[in-house]
Chains A and B, each alone.
Chain A
Amino acid sequence: MQAHFFARSGQAIAVALQAMAAQDSALARWVHPGNETDQRPERTGVATGFAVLDAFLPWGGWPVGAMTEVMTDAFGAGELSLLLPAMSRLASEKRPIAMIGLPHELFAPALAQANVDPQQVTQILPSARTHDAKELLWSSEQILKSGAAALVVLWSVPTSPHRSAMSPEALRRLHLACLGQETTFIHYRAASCTALPSPAWLRFGFSANEEQIRLQVLKCRGRLLARPLVTLDRAAVQARLATRLNAERLLARALEDGLPAAPRLSHPVDLHSGLPLTQQAH
């Protein structure tokens, strides 16, 4: 009789524990403790090529299968160069890249200088017809839905007054088209859209000065909302340009101050080959 009672009570406890566990798991779906935010998501991103940025982003780079927004009014301050390291990596893997709605066409030699194979890059240029933003949105959606491109860059910063800001519905459609695909989607928007809601997982405010590129993090899924500022060295972002400007600066200084005296060489050297003249003679 006693054994029977324990058996009965043991069953009841087991049922109660199962119910609690079920309740806990149901609750766990809806309650997110704050300490979860620092956990890295399972999805891996595409490395940005900038260690600071990669370390900050929960995906270890640009998120894949989600929209990233770069809010900028700057044009010609290195905003696209920010993507060149990622583009170089993806192009070297022979994965297609789509650049949609850029105000001017991409210059192949500049891509080649950044080790980006121009053959892997397809630009969808605005024309008399595609000035209609709907066409560019349609193109973006088709490419995102296909999941065939590794990187899609959409430029919707209004360069003319007749191009208005994108509607929330259009943004939502683009984001949905991107979700679950193996595509990194970078969307350049006007800084005036910063206050508008967006389904993007990652949002940056972009600004630049002579030395630095500043990325104000407006939203980052998986991080606490602290709006940190990520600062990149502009010379690192626009390496080729920085080298050129540096050379100009040095030459200008040399012209102003006069050339420093050449070091005295113990052996005369051929200026073309760099070899000692005596060695060359042999």
Chain B
Amino acid sequence: MDGPTSVRASLRFVCVHVPALPLQSHACTGAAGPTCSLADTAPLVVVERQARRTLVVARNRLAARAGIETGQTLAEAHALAEPLLVLARDFRREAALLERLASVCAAFTPQVHLAAERASLLLDVSRSLRLHGGGEALCHDLSEALEPMAARIHLVAAATHLAADWLSRAHRHLIAEGAPADWLSTLPLACTDWTPVLIDELAALNLHTVGEVDRLPHAELAARFGTALVQSLDIAHGRSEAALRWWQPATRFSAHVDFLDPAREAAHWFPGVVALTGQFVAFLDSRALAARAIRLTFRNGSRQQSRLEVAAASPTCENEVWLRLIDAALSRAAIGHELSRIELDCDLLEPRRFEPLDLFTRRHEQQRHWSEILALLRLRLGSECVRSPRRQRTPLPESTDTVPSAETKVEFAAVAGARPLLLIDPPRRLGAVERAQILTRIRRALPERIETSAAGDTLSADPSTTLRRDYYIARLANQQTLWIFRDHGAREWFVQGVFA
């Protein structure tokens, strides 16, 4: 193809570029991390080990003012600014920041491409432009949504993804409407994603802008510099298409907060929990998801670790609900050791469901509130303390059956006799004095016998496994009415219920 053709195209792509990503990934953890304040008060550089040298890959404003440039060695940086804060480049942090940004962008379009090596996100907004009222309005909304996530971003809308990507290196905010060639013609080559070697070779030929390169015969360019150069020019100018691999949102949430110094007091580390739940809820909001349970891990290095499982009554995405549940769970299982890290994980993600509104009764709403309050109480008090009255598996009233697998025979039907409202479990053995007082108050004529046997109907097969009790009702002088029994095996009297 000799000589470029002018292509008139509408806006299709938005590029979200994070300049100085290695630095911003340290500074913006979603919570107010310590580096946020340090980055503004002292020269700070992020370094990366390359071959045998430690090179500066990002620096803050104070370091730049001191003359430190990216690509310098750490020794040179130390020579220019002292004291100098030095942080190691953390690719996981960078990826996490981009993931967080992508999860926010996913609310605007499902087609988000994550270009980690370019510190950019490319959004195909061709189908959501009209919804947001055009490129300007969409970029404004996007900028507002991303503002809390990153300290500084560049937002550029253009007709092609490469044009948006390249232009984002030179412009902080740009709506490049019209043909890409109009905007790319004066763009310096340093803004492209071409290799430094190629850019140097082009510069040696007195080619310094994209327009100057694009005006050359493409066949000759391909022959001299390879087809990749021509291909990228064609893609950038919209003369050919390139397929992008769209980002797939994570199916689980996992985040953590690190503390520089071990924290012991809850007042010191609880803000970390608040920050994590804030991130978690933002994650849920961005995908219209809800969660039923989360897991918090409190670590003190590799020495100590405490886990907290927090379950909600129904899938929820409300920060207040999670904080309330966590607070209740922490009041029951206090963390007794120092913390250096808090992790929040969630695997049980569900699509958000909205129940139909019942305008006439509040029954459904009340039932939901009741489930929520029970979940809260169970977290704080323990599920053994918050429960419905136990269903009986055997005619033995107590929960701990002495003959668990017993076939049971009841001489009087279990429902025939009166049952006490309150059950003493396990039964309390009557002392000698108490027994003497109570036994004068019962009539021995009509006991209700409850028997269990391991041998089915043959109750007398093995006396050691047979349980035989005669139950009586005793009304005492103070009008207290008790349910007592005599155990034939132990030959003892027990009290098992109160007719309250």
Contact = CB atoms under 8 A, between A and B. Distances in A.
Interface of A: 74-81, 84, 94-96, 102-113, 118-119, 121-127, 129-130, 135, 138-139, 142-143, 146-149, 208-210, 238, 240-241, 243-245, 247-249, 251-252, 255
A104 B425 contact: yes
B144 interface: no
Main secondary structure on A side of the interface with B = mixed
B400 interface: no
Contacts of A135: 380-381
Nearest to B421: A110
B389 A127 contact: no
Interface of B: 332, 363, 366-367, 369-370, 372-374, 376-377, 380-382, 384-392, 397, 414-415, 417-425, 443, 445-446, 473, 475, 478-482, 497-500
Contacts of A95: 366
A76 B395 CA distance: 23
Contacts of B497: 107, 110
A81 B499 CA distance: 8
Contacts of A139: 377, 380-381
A103 B428 CA distance: 14
A75 B498 contact: yes
B415 A127 contact: no
B380 to A, nearest CB: 8
A107 B423 contact: yes
A146 B369 contact: yes
A255 B385 CA distance: 46
Contacts of B332: 129
Contact of A104 (B377, B384, B392, B498): B498
A255 B377 CA distance: 53
A209 B500 contact: no
B391 A118 contact: yes
Contacts of B481: 76-78, 238, 241
Given A129-B381, A146-B372, A255-B445, 15 more contacts: A76-B498, A77-B480, A79-B500, A96-B367, A96-B370, A104-B422, A106-B422, A107-B497, A108-B392, A109-B419, A118-B389, A143-B377, A148-B373, A244-B417, A251-B446
B390 A108 contact: yes
Given A107-B420, A251-B445, A251-B446, A119 B382 contact: no
Contacts of B369: 146-148
A10 to B, nearest CB: 50
Nearest to A114: B421
Contacts of B446: 247-248, 251-252
A165 to B, nearest CB: 21
A107 B392 CA distance: 9
A30 to B, nearest CB: 35
A85 to B, nearest CB: 13
Task: Give the 7 A-B CB pairs with smallest separation, nearest first.
Answer: A76-B480, A148-B370, A148-B369, A108-B389, A107-B423, A110-B419, A244-B418
A216 to B, nearest CB: 16
A109 B392 contact: yes
A79 B380 CA distance: 29
B424 A104 contact: yes
Contacts of B500: 75-81
Given A76-B482, A78-B499, A122-B388, A142 B421 contact: no
30 contacts: A76-B499, A77-B480, A79-B500, A96-B367, A103-B422, A104-B423, A105-B422, A106-B421, A107-B421, A107-B422, A110-B421, A111-B389, A112-B415, A118-B389, A118-B391, A121-B389, A122-B388, A123-B387, A124-B377, A139-B380, A142-B373, A143-B373, A146-B372, A148-B366, A148-B372, A238-B481, A248-B443, A248-B446, A248-B473, A251-B445
